Amino acid sequence: MTAPKKPRSAAGLKPAPAPPLTVDQQLLLKYYAEICDESQQHILRMMALATKSCPRHVRPALRLVGGVK
């Protein structure tokens, strides 16, 4: 009798890359990063750590404030 096959993990699959940001989106993200004070940045980091799966359009903003690597 042979052992049942283990299900393959999806570790080798990578999600599709997010579309590149437009110039307007980049400027908007920089603006938000500049107006965020330390407490807001801390909140963003905590939210990023708590959710781990934030929408793609939020990730660049969190990267700017150091929330998501």
| Averaged pLDDT in 10-residue chunks for the chain of 69 residues | 55 62 72 69 66 60 60
Residue 32 CA to residue 50 CA, distance in Å, equals 21
CB atoms within 10 A of CB 67: 20
Give the CB-side neighbour count of residue 48, counting CA atoms within 13 A.
20
In terms of Cα–Cα distance, which of 43, 1, 31, 26 is closest to 66? 43
